[in-house]
Amino acid sequence: MANVTFSSPRMKKDVTVYAVAGDTKTLLAVAKANSVPLESECENGECGSCQVQVSVLSGNTPIGVALTEKEKLVLKLAGKITAQQIEDAETKDLPPPWRLACQMVVRDEDILVKF
Ligand code: FES
């Protein structure tokens, strides 16, 4: 079970929802299921409209991630990820601060999502 807290100027207040770990829902799916007004267009990692800033709240070491090629490309073109951050994600399991909500699978860790 993970707490996912969404924070945005578009919402009156932060919203924290519980996501069941292991059901492989994307962050965008969790947002939609909870009526969080996160933008999305393609839902396929191509448009970049669902860019979010993610930080781990638990104080634990963040769980490593596998970025899709689409996500790397879109975030790079948007200037939200550096070549070093991509390398760190791939070799050191360090997740980058910006993600695409439609490509990010919610894991068993408490996160803050800003958009
Ligand atoms: Fe288009 Fe996520 S909705 S990249």
Tens digits of per-residue pLDDT, 83-110? 999 999 999 988 999 999 999 998 888 9
The whole-angstrom separation of Cα 92 and Cα 73 is 19
Cα–Cα nearest to 64, from 95, 91, 87: 95
Q: Is 41 in the pocket of ligand 1 (CB under 6 A)?
A: yes
pLDDT of residue 22: 64
Closest ligand 1 atom to residue 101 Cα is 2
Q: What domain count does the chain have?
A: 1
The CATH number given to whatever domain includes residue 80 is 3.10.20.30
Q: Is 23 in the pocket of ligand 1 (CB under 6 A)?
A: no
- The whole domain housing 99 covers 2-114
State the complex-level ipTM. Answer: 0.99
DSSP class of residue 68 equals -
100 in contact with ligand 1, CB cutoff 6 A: yes
Number of H helices, E strands in the chain: 3, 5
pLDDT at 23 (0 to 100): 67
Beta bridge partners of 100: 51
How many residues in the chain? 115
CA nearest 54: which of 84, 87, 89? Answer: 89
Give the span between the Cα atoms of 2 and 88, in whole angstroms: 24
Query: In the predicted model, is pLDDT for residue 21 greater than 70?
Result: no
Q: Which two tokens stand for residue 78?
A: 């948007």
Q: Is 45 in the pocket of ligand 1 (CB under 6 A)?
A: yes
